[in-house]
Amino acid sequence: MKLQGNTLLITGGGSGIGLALAEKFKTLGNEVIVAGRSQAKLEAAQAKGLHTIAADMGSESGVRALAAQAIAQHPSLNVVIHNAGVMVNEKLVSRDNSQTAIDTVNTNLLGPIILTNALLPHLLKQASATIITVTSGLAFVPLVMTPTYSATKAAIHSYTQSLRYQLQDTNVEVKELAPPYVRTGLMGERQASDQNAMPLQDFVDEVFAILRDKPEAGEILVQRVHAQRFAGFDAPAYDAFFGKQNDTLMAVRKAEWDAM
């Protein structure tokens, strides 16, 4: 992925990691559009020189409208960063958390999938394009206090692997950014001021160092997230099995796949 001369759409770009990424990309000479629900945050982003689009990533119609508006207003769009997300504690033994689960799945999982489908025909027409999903270290070692959030991040990790494989022979690059616990307002002021969390600027600086120094990396992993990312399995063995499994099944089902 080139770091200059892009037109980027960043969902959930009005605050936290999304806004920090947006500001950094803008300083490098990119056109940046941030999408979000909060009008106040969008106005603050506009004051920083960022383009904005109001959008609800938990609504299918809202996501499709976002894609159409972004393409119409910014036809050079060639990068999307799926950053929008909600993270809510769920005490499963004491209450019905069904609505929290529905809202979390709609925003964190279905939103990025629907937006990818809506943007992909446009991205495939660009000279070069990139899709970046923002998952979490919790995709690999879940936080039991936020079971649905952790599950959606694991699902997006899986989806990203499939998306990367299917697009490997196209002009669209697929990357996954998996943050550790970062000092943002995702779960309120407690997280924003938690000294146990990685400072946001340190995180962004390390992310861009990886993008600069390892442009081929499919996963963008700051050092602080390595313990989570590699806790559960032998990574080289997993990668080898992943490749063998999918190469084999794609060959066996080639006619079925080609007919879709």
What positions carry a catalytic annotation?
A: 149
The length of the chain in residues reads 260
Q: How far is CA 75 from CA 55, 70, 79, 105, 125, in A?
A: 18, 8, 11, 29, 11
Cα(116)–Cα(194) distance, rounded to whole angstroms? 33
Check: CB of residue 112 under 8 Å from CB of residue 82: yes
> Using an 8 Å Cβ cutoff, are 51 and 104 in contact?
no
Residue 14's Cα: distance from chain center in Å? 15
Q: What is the DSSP letter of 184?
A: S
For residue 53, the surrounding DSSP H or E stretch is strand 51-54
Q: DSSP string of 193-220?
A: T-TTSBPHHHHHHHHHHHHHH-TT-SEE
Q: How many CA atoms lie within 13 A of 67 on its CB side?
A: 21
How far apart CA 129 and CA 22 sit, in angstroms, is 17
